[in-house]
Chain A
Amino acid sequence: AQSVSQHNHHVILSEAASLELGCNYSYGGTVNLFWYVQYPGQHLQLLLKYFSGDPLVKGIKGFEAEFIKSKFSFNLRKPSVQWSDTAEYFCAVRPPGTGGFKTIFGAGTRPFVKA
């Protein structure tokens, strides 16, 4: 079945360490890609998105993601994490042929940053 896969559902790392969260999808054709973040007690919000152009996308709070079409991947990175980055991160894909209205979410990854 077509899907969105996120790796490392639970990650523990120290402040100032680098973070990389994996995301792979299985849809062919032109896709729109998103990373959303859910901080404790807050709304789910957009971190960054990719529609076309430069495959390296920069988002809020120092996050970036790289779209690698040949690998069907859209991994999220941050060079130096802070305690406040403890949250749940969701990769999401808007596949072709859905009229732009259907978004498929991954299961989420919850990194825990130790102060």
Chain B
Amino acid sequence: DGGITQSPKYLFRKEGQNVTLSCEQNLNHDAMYWYRQDPGQGLRLIYYSQIVNDFQKGDIAEGYSVSREKKESFPLTVTSAQKNPTAFYLCASTPEGSYNEQFFGPGTRLTVL
């Protein structure tokens, strides 16, 4: 089945540690996205990538980093510089043409202790 996988589903880290969230898609989509979802705030864009080896900052990129070395993979690193990292993180993708809906993964809930 085609889709987006995110792992792990739940992640716990100590304060001050960097952590990398995985996102893989087998939909052959060009664009990929990372969002952060907090209660009452909807989804906020962290980073997005239109093509391999290229990515742009979203609205809340501070304290996060990404890479796009392969079309199917778009990992997100939450660094120790992110002041409030505990959140639900969603990865999404869209096919070529951009004027299409986004397809979402199941999300990773990160808790920093």
Contact call B45/A45, Cβ cutoff below 8 A: no
Q: Of the listed stretches A13-21, A63-71, A76-84, A101-109, name the one at the interface; the rest are far from the partner chain.
A: A101-109
Contact call B43/A105, Cβ cutoff below 8 A: yes
Interface Cβ pair total, 8 Å cutoff: 50
Interface residues as binary, B58-102 with A (CB distance below 8 Å gives 1, 0 otherwise): 100000000000000000000000000000001010100111011
A103-B45, A108-B40 known; 5 new pairs, CB 8 Å cut-off, are A43-B105, A49-B101, A90-B42, A100-B98, A101-B94
- Contact among A32, A92, A102, A107 with B41 in the assembled complex (CB-CB below 8 Å): A107
Interface size class of A (residues with CB under 8 A): 20 to 34
Chain B nearest Cβ from A39, distance in angstroms: 12
Contact call A101/B40, Cβ cutoff below 8 A: no
Residue of chain A at shortest CB distance from B31: A101
Residues of B that sit less than 8 Å from A by CB: 31, 35, 40-45, 48, 50, 56, 58, 90, 92, 94, 97-99, 101-102, 104-107
| Chain B CB within 8 A of A44 CB | yes
CA distance A102 to B48 in the complex (A): 8
Residue of chain A at shortest CB distance from B45: A102
Contact call A101/B43, Cβ cutoff below 8 A: no
CA distance A99 to B50 in the complex (A): 10
CA distance A49 to B102 in the complex (A): 11
CA distance A101 to B58 in the complex (A): 10
Contact call B40/A107, Cβ cutoff below 8 A: yes
Residue of chain A at shortest CB distance from B98: A100
- Contact among A36, A43, A44, A100 with B99 in the assembled complex (CB-CB below 8 Å): A100
Residues of A within 8 A of B44 (CB): 105
- Contact among B58, B98, B101, B107 with A46 in the assembled complex (CB-CB below 8 Å): B101
Contact call B101/A34, Cβ cutoff below 8 A: yes
Contact call A101/B42, Cβ cutoff below 8 A: no
